[in-house]
Amino acid sequence: MAYQRAYFPVKTISLSQGYGSGSSTHKLSYAIDLAGIQNVYAPFDCKVTKLYQPIDTKNHANTVWLTSTKKVLSPNGYYGYLTISITHPSEISKMRIGTIYKQGEKICTTSKMTGNATGNHVHIEVAKGKDSGWVKKTNGKYSEYVILNKVKAEDYLFVDEDSTIKKKAYKNKNYNFIKESDITYVVKNVPSEPLNVRSTTSLNNTKNIIGGLTNGEEVIKFYDKGNMSYIYHYEMMGYVANRYLIKKV
C-alpha cells in the first residue's frame, strides 16, 4: 500500500490571509484563510477529536479538530500523525467527537460564516501529532489561541492534483503550495541498477541500504542534502544520489 498523502481540505486554493501579520488569530499562529464558498473534504482518514461551538457565534467561530487515524505523508518528507483544525464549518451541530471520515469525504461547506469573518472562507491550522486543542500565545499585550504543536499547512499538506491554485500570495509573500506532480522525479541513467536507497546520506557502507530503484521508476523528492535526495517510493523513504533523478514532465 502506498502511504496516504495529507491534502488541503478544499479544492480551490485562494489565499485570503496568511500568518505572521494581519488580523487576530493569524499573528502568532500559522493559520491560513482560503477564500470562497466551497465544500470541505477530509484531508486524510481521520476522526473528530475536538469541537468548539460557541454560543456567541457573532464574535467566535465554530471549529472542528480532525486527527488522522494513521500516519500520513507530507510534501516536506514528514510521515506521521497530523491534526487539522477547521474553523467556520456551519454544519458543526451535526458533528460528534469520534465521528470517522474517510479521506475525501465531504465534511462541511464554507457557505455560512460564524465568528467575525468578513467573507466566506475556511480558516485552517495544522499540527503535528494526535494532540488536539489550543494553547494561548502572548506577545506583549496581544494574545491569541493557537493550535497545539503548530506547523505550516503548506509544508504538511499537498494540494490535490485536481485542485486549482488561484492565489498563493499574501502581503507580497508567496506561500509554497505543492502538488505531488511538482516534486515527482524519475530515476534515470543509473549505470548499474539498482540505485541504492539508504537510511542515511553516507555512501561509505552497505549497512544503510534499505532498498533499490531501477531506471524509469518514479519517486517523490522532498529535499536535497548535499549530493543526496530524501525520497519516497511506495513504502520506502530514504536517500538516493540525486544525479540520477530527473524532474518528471
Q: Show the cell assigned to 240.
A: 538516493
- The pair phi, psi for residue 228, each rounded to 5°, is -110, 155
Beta bridge partners of 237: 232
Report the distance separating Cα 53 and Cα 68, nearest Å.
Answer: 21
Kindly give the pairing relationship between strand 12-17 and strand 164-167.
Answer: parallel
57 or 200: CB nearest Zn ion: 57
Query: Binding of Zn ion at residue 144 (CB under 5 A)?
Result: no
Query: Binding of Zn ion at residue 221 (CB under 5 A)?
Result: no
Question: Any idea how long the chain is?
Answer: 249
Smallest distance, Å, CB 60 to Zn ion? 13
Smallest distance, Å, CB 87 to Zn ion? 7
123 or 198: CB nearest Zn ion: 123
Nearest to 236, CA basis, from 220, 248, 214, 225: 220
Cis peptide bond upstream of 194, omega within 30: yes
Smallest distance, Å, CB 31 to Zn ion? 5
35 or 48: CB nearest Zn ion: 35
Site for Zn ion in 114-133 (CB under 5 A): 123
In the list 33, 125, 144, 160, the residue contacting Zn ion (rule: CB under 5 A) is 33
Give 97's contacts (C-beta < 8 A, 6+ positions apart): 48, 49, 50, 51
Beta bridge partners of 225: 228
Smallest distance, Å, CB 115 to Zn ion? 9
- When CB distances to Zn ion are compared, the closest residue is 123
Q: Show the cell assigned to 227.
A: 549530493
Smallest distance, Å, CB 25 to Zn ion? 6
Site for Zn ion in 59-118 (CB under 5 A): none
Residue ranges of alpha helices (H) inside 153-228 are 153-156
Residue type, 39: N
The footprint of Zn ion on this chain (CB under 5 A) covers a number of residues equal to 2
Segment interacting with Zn ion, rule: CB under 5 A, options 32-40, 59-67, 104-112, 171-179: 32-40
30 or 41: CB nearest Zn ion: 30
72 or 124: CB nearest Zn ion: 124
Rule CB under 5 A: which residues touch Zn ion?
33, 123
